[in-house]
Amino acid sequence: MGRFSPTVVDHFTNPRNSGQVADASVRAFVGNPVCGDQILLTAAVADGVVTDIRFQAFGCSASLAVASLLTEVVKGKGLDEVAALDADRVVELAGGLTPDQRHVAGLAADVAHRLVDNFHQGVNDDDPISCGA
Amino acid sequence: MMTRSAAGPDPAEIYLDHAATTPVAPEAVAALGRGVALHGNPSSRHSAGQAAREAVDGARAAVARLLGCAHDGVVFTGGGSEAINLALLGTFAAAEWRGHLVTTRIEHAAVLGAAGAAATHGVAVTVVPPDPSGHVDPERIAEAIRPDTLLVSVMHANNETGAIQPVERITEIAHAAGALVHVDAVQTAGKLPIAPLRADLVSVSAHKFGGVKGVGALRVPAGHELTALIHGGGQESGYRAGTENVPGILAMAAAAEVAVTASADPVVRAHREHLRARLLAGLAELDGIRVHVDSRVMAETVSVAFPGVRGDTLADLLDLRGVHVSTGSACHAGSESPSHVLTAMGVPADLARSTARFSFGSTTTEQAVVAAAEVTVDSVRGLRRSWGATPAAVAVGAG
């Protein structure tokens, strides 16, 4: 399919790290709960490093793919590196996104930043993903 | 989760989007070749031109049999949308944009767009909602008809849900009130008999029943006042200027002959009903699905909501796994707005967005339908896992 990069196809059809981390250190949610793209990250953090991370996502094909991709990128990284992730880097890691898909790169960067912020502030987001059910 | 090996047999390229367009029939391919070889212009006096003219006349007779009219009642157009626009705008233009149009909220964009264009010229338009079942109540049409109603336009069956509309009863009501009737038979031509329709104007599109894209036809009764939308050389009895698309018209005629035979064959009809039953039986393994229309419906069109999954995302995943379906009308694919048809039926926006349309054609096999159902079940389960849906939540959402 020409609309998606091979990386996006790979993660969309074979998502990695879906679900939630048991006893997570931090939970972060970004998205539009009224049927927009939504990503929830749960992670275990030890000594400033993300040791485990899982995602739940609802939305377009590309948003599910970048959520999966994000968990692979972030796992094992220090929180400073996670905080430095931006949308352009997500586009690059995804092997390119079409103009109508690029918003999901911003969504992925936003939820990564929120994960870091929530951890530093000691807060957790709820699990609001409910659209479509 | 979603490798092909995990889903059983590889369903390589299962095409279940025949409501969008269907493969060109072999007979139409052959006719297309004959048409291409006819290099003359049908309007030319010389023998090359007259050979093309004779071929077009023969094709007109075949399409007339599909439409149930005299051969001079067939106006070839550049597709179904043009036929519909000619029916609506041509009729009201001939009436100097006076009068009233009644149509419904579930019509194809071609009808709704033409109705909107007519309104800008001063035509009064009433748009009748369907029942939650997806069917238009003829009594609602009766209530909408006014003394100045010139035309009632209703589709034979809906392109997204397959709901067969009571067009014969609506035609009786409209005619009794002195109004004309246009039936958009784009979805039903070649699947349901359209020749017996008593409507005045009937529009069809060749590529929906095995012809090629870019050719359509409008049934126009003798004496009907119709103003051409395309002006020029006076072809098509002055209703549609432009040199005839000879190959496309010949292909349409060949496809029509095949389709007329098939649509009247009880074995073919029974097979389509069987395909529908097999698909729905396979999908029934999923919690909470909703079939939007399952009575008074074309067997070929199955519109299903999968709560917990976005329809566009499911269609993408199925595509990557070799199963081609639509989120609804192909014209709306890519739009983030929920279907205007499902919305008009009162379907909640989230359920409308979770909808996929499976549609069958002459090449659809039982094996393909069964495999598509298996892949769909696996894909929906996988997507639901991606956001942690629980069966209970899905069931609530489907209620």
A61 touches chain B (CB under 8 A): yes
Q: Do the Cβ atoms of B228 and B241 come closer than 8 Å?
A: yes
Q: Do the Cβ atoms of B238 and B220 come closer than 8 Å?
A: no
A14 touches chain B (CB under 8 A): yes
Q: Is residue A39 part of a domain?
A: yes
* B320 to A60: CB separation less than 8 angstroms, yes or no: no
Rounded to whole angstroms, the maximal C-alpha distance in chain A is 43
The partner residue sitting opposite B1, judged by closest CB among A3, A15, A67, is A15
* pLDDT value of position B333: 43
Listed residue (B92, B110, B101, B16) closest to B340, CA to CA: B110
What pLDDT band is residue A34 in, cutting at 50, 70 and 90?
A: low
Among all residues of chain A, which has the CA nearest to that of B398? Answer: A133
* pLDDT value of position B312: 93
Q: pLDDT tens track of chain B, all 399 residues? A: 333 334 433 447 999 999 999 999 999 999 999 999 999 999 999 999 999 999 999 999 999 999 999 999 999 999 999 999 999 999 999 999 999 999 999 999 999 999 999 999 999 999 999 999 999 999 999 999 999 999 999 999 999 999 999 999 999 999 999 999 999 999 999 999 999 999 999 999 999 999 999 999 999 999 999 999 999 999 999 999 999 999 999 999 999 999 999 988 999 999 999 999 999 999 999 999 999 999 999 999 999 999 989 999 999 999 999 999 999 655 444 446 889 999 999 999 989 999 999 999 999 999 999 999 999 999 999 999 887 654 344 443 333
Helix axis angle, A61-74 relative to B366-386, nearest 10°? 50
Whether the predicted pLDDT of A1 surpasses 50: no
Say what the pTM is: 0.91
Catalytic hit among B61, B127, B177, B331? B331
* pLDDT value of position B10: 43
A35 touches chain B (CB under 8 A): yes
Among all residues of chain A, which has the CA nearest to that of B384? Answer: A58
Could you count the other beta carbons within 10 Å of the beta carbon of residue B282? Answer: 18
Q: Is residue A1 part of a domain?
A: no
* B386 to A58: CB separation less than 8 angstroms, yes or no: yes
| Chain A residues near residue B3 by CB distance under 8 angstroms | 13-14
Q: Is residue A68 part of a domain?
A: yes
Active-site residue, B69 included: no
- Matching residue, tokens 């659809």: B364
Chain A closest CA to B327's CA: distance in Å?
Answer: 13
| Chain A residues near residue B314 by CB distance under 8 angstroms | none
Pairing mode, strands A26-31 and B14-15: unpaired
* A13 to B313: CB separation less than 8 angstroms, yes or no: no
Q: Do the Cβ atoms of A114 and A27 come closer than 8 Å?
A: no
Q: Is residue A96 part of a domain?
A: yes
**For an interface test with A, which of B304, B327, B336, B387 has the most A Cβ atoms less than 10 Å from its Cβ?**
B387
Amino acid type, B269: R
Q: ipTM score of the complex?
A: 0.91
Q: Is residue A35 part of a domain?
A: yes
CATH number for the domain spanning A57: value is 3.90.1010.10
Q: Taking an 8 Å Cβ-Cβ cutoff, which residues of chain B contact chain A? A: 1-3, 288, 307-310, 312-313, 316-317, 319-321, 349-350, 353-354, 382-383, 385-389, 393-394, 396-397
- The total domain count for chain A is 1
pLDDT in tens, B17-48: 999 999 999 999 999 999 999 999 999 999 99
Q: Is residue A133 part of a domain?
A: no
Q: Is residue A129 part of a domain?
A: no
Q: Is residue A128 part of a domain?
A: no
Domain span at residue A115? 6-120
> How far are the Cα atoms of A57, A71, B13, B393 from residue A20, in angstroms, in the given order?
11, 11, 35, 17
